[in-house]
Every structure is written in structure tokens, then in C-alpha cells.
Amino acid sequence: IDSSPKIPSAVPHISTPNPSSGASTPNIKRVSDFKFGEILGEGSYSTVLTATENSTKREYAIKVLDKRHIIKEKKEKYVNIEKEALCILSKHPGFIKLFYTFQDAHNLYFVLSLARNGELLDYINKLGRFNEICAQYYAALIVDSIDYMHGRGVIHRDLKPENILLDDNMRTKITDFGSAKILNSSHGSHEEDTHHADKPQAHSRSFVGTARYVSPEVLSDKIAGTASDIWAFGCILFQMLAGKPPFVAGNEYLTFQSILHLSYEIPPDISDVASDLIKKLLVLDPKDRLTVDEIHQHPFFNGIKFDNTLWELPPPRL
Ligand code: ADE
């Protein structure tokens, strides 16, 4: 099996300062440059581990992707999109940063920022729910990240509290762009990617993992746009405030039915402003959902300034 073509290049695509390498030496990392530690997460064809770079002692999360498995499952395109999306978003504090990529005979390696505090989901579950101050703060970081992402032509398509990590400072970093769509790029945003209906592997892709954050338009016509991320944001805001996602049912089919019927209930102790925002996000027709600009203006975010200072604010105590 020839595993070399179609696989992302091993050339580091982000120039990071590295005092040990001269300007003319291409700075390609390899496995022996790192000491690998614990496993942070496992996917179907990838594993994320902590790793320390031997020369700098800097700590990273390294995503190891199994080339043979990627090729067998025809996921090359998605691996490339994931890498491209991470590169596009690497300058914003709300995203996991891609520092280097390299490969060996068996694997691709993505060297990523380490989000030491793990998943937002774990904090929601540990605390039961967030108070409105905390929910407002975390929702603001997430909206600001979505705003930047959509401005750069990236639709995540799998936003959920498992994909929102927390760094040392307890600020959010969105990760896992393996389902993303990049608009106006060489990957194409039209036939092959918007309509999943007649592509079995693409179709099943949309429904692996959790179904709870899938927007109604993706369920009914398989077309995900920026508004689909806004729907997922509505589900995440609901979950922070209520302690559980809005659409939960005994199985996937029933979950889809509740989504398509907009069958959810806001707990009565949630404030009127928060309820109002949730109701304007969880709207069946994507055209009628709030836009990012309208979300910024919503009274739930009174007192929050959506500019650079947002990422300097001290996080409220969870
Ligand atoms: N799990 C998956 N990716 C991670 C990362 N970059 N940091 C911490 N945990 C992770």
C-alpha cells in the first residue's frame, strides 16, 4: 500500500520562533523530538497525547493520525480540511493552535496547543450547571470564536461541549475540525460537500457520535451553513444553564424527532433574558435564527464588550 500521496505535507506551515534553527534550515519535527505522555483522547482513527518537546521543554497535545486507516476509510480530504481550518484560525485565542505537522511511515502528527483543563462538558457535568454570570462569560467567548471562524470562511459543523476545551487560564479553545467545511477554498464548498444525501460515507459521517447538537436543516436536507453552528451554540448555551442539552431522548431517532419538532423545555428558574436568547437561537428555519451580530446586541450579553478586551477579562469562578 502506497501511503504517500494525498497526505498532507510534512513541512511545518506555521513559522514559530525557534532559536535552535537557522533561517535556512527547514524546521521539520519528528517523533524523537518529543517525549510522549498520557493519552488525552481517542477517536476512530486518531489519538491525542500530551508531549514535551525535548529541546524547549514546551508541552503540547499531539494528535496522531493513522495513515492506513485514513486511506482505508477515504478520509484524506477531511484530514486536509482539519489541518487547513486549524491554520486559518490559529491566530485567534479561541482555537487550539497548530504549531507543526510531520509524519512517519505510519502516522501523521499534528502538534497542538495543550488545553490543560480539558473539556467544557466535564465542567458542566461536575458543577451541575453554570450560574448566569459564568454562562454569559463562556457563551461570549464561544460567540466571539464563532464570529471569527465564520469571518474566515470556516463552518465547524460539530460544535459541542466536548469540542470546547479549557486552557490553563480557564478560557475556551475550540478544537476538532474533522467535520468542518471551508468556504471559497480549493476543497470546494459546493456539490461534493454541501449535499451529503447521496454519498453514503458522507451521510453516515453526519450522524456518527452525538446527534444532540445537529441542526434541523442538516437532518432534513443535509445542508449545513453558518447558522448550523449558531444552532449548536444555542444547544451549548442551554446546556450550560440547564445542566443538560435541550434535545435528549432514549435513542438517536427520538432525538432527531425532538429536534425536528423543536420539542424542548426551558427550566423555569432560568432568567427571562437567557430564555429569550435561547428561543431566538433554537429556531427551526436557519434564516430566522439570530446572526452573530444580533447575538452581540442581545440583552443577555449586557455589560460584555465583544472586542480584544474580552480575552483579557478574568474568567469568573466556576
Ligand atoms: N484533547 C484533545 N485535544 C486536546 C488538546 N489540544 N488539549 C487537551 N486535551 C485535548
**Ligand 1: which of 49, 62, 160, 175 to mutate, most ligand atoms within 8 Å of CB?**
175
Determine the residue of 36, 47, 48 to mutate for testing ligand 1's pocket, defined as the one with the most ligand atoms within 8 A of the Cβ atom: 48
Instruction: Place 15 in a pLDDT band, splitting at 50, 70 and 90.
Output: very low
Q: At what angle do helices 226-242 and 272-281 cross, to 10 degrees?
A: 150
- CA–centroid distance, residue 209 to ligand 1 (Å): 18
206 lines ligand 1 (CB under 6 A): no
Protein residue with least CA distance to atom 10, ligand 1: 40
How many A from CA of 59 to the centre of ligand 1? 12
The Cα 228–Cα 99 span in angstroms is 29
Taking the alpha carbons at both ends of the chain, their separation in whole angstroms is 50
pLDDT band of residue 222 (cuts 50, 70, 90) is: confident
Mean pLDDT across 36-62: 97
pLDDT at 27: 87
Mean pLDDT for 102-126 is 98
Is ligand 1 within 6 A of the CB of residue 236?
Answer: no
Mean pLDDT of the chain: 88
Looking at the predicted structure, is the pLDDT value of residue 156 above 70?
Answer: yes
CB neighbour list of residue 265: distance below 8 Å, 6 or more residues apart: none
| pLDDT score of 23 | 54
Question: Annotated catalytic sites, by residue?
Answer: 158
| Cα angle: 1, vertex 47, 154; to 5 degrees | 90
Scanning the chain, the segments in alpha helix (DSSP H) are 67-72, 76-89, 120-127, 132-151, 191-194, 200-205, 216-221, 226-242, 252-260, 272-281, 292-297
pLDDT above 90 (res 288): yes
Å from CA of 52 to ligand 1 middle: 14
CA of 303 to the centre of ligand 1 (A): 31
Is the CB of 112 inside a 6 Å radius of any atom of ligand 1?
yes
Q: Ligand 1 pocket: which of 47, 59, 96 to mutate (most atoms <8 Å of CB)?
A: 96
Give the count of beta carbons closer than 10 Å to the beta carbon of residue 317.
Answer: 8
Assess whether pLDDT exceeds 50 at residue 188.
Answer: no
Does the pLDDT value for residue 12 go beyond 50?
no
Whether the CB-CB separation of 236 and 201 falls below 8 Å is answered with: no
pLDDT of 205 reads: 46
Kindly state the average pLDDT of the residues 63-70.
98
ipTM of the complex: 0.97
**More reliable by pLDDT, 36 or 186:** 36
Average pLDDT estimate for 259-284: 98
* CB-neighbour burial class of residue 277 (10 A; exposed 0-12, middle 13-18, buried 19+): buried
pLDDT at 26: 74
Residue 31 grid coordinates = 517523533
Q: What is the pLDDT of residue 10?
A: 42
Question: How confident is the model at residue 1, as a pLDDT?
Answer: 36
CA atoms of 63 and 296, how far apart (whole Å):
34
**What pLDDT score was predicted for residue 185?**
58
Confidence of residue 247 (pLDDT cuts 50, 70, 90): very high
What SS3 state is found at 40? Answer: strand
Residue 210: the pLDDT is: 67
Q: Closest Cα to atom 8, ligand 1: which residue? A: 115
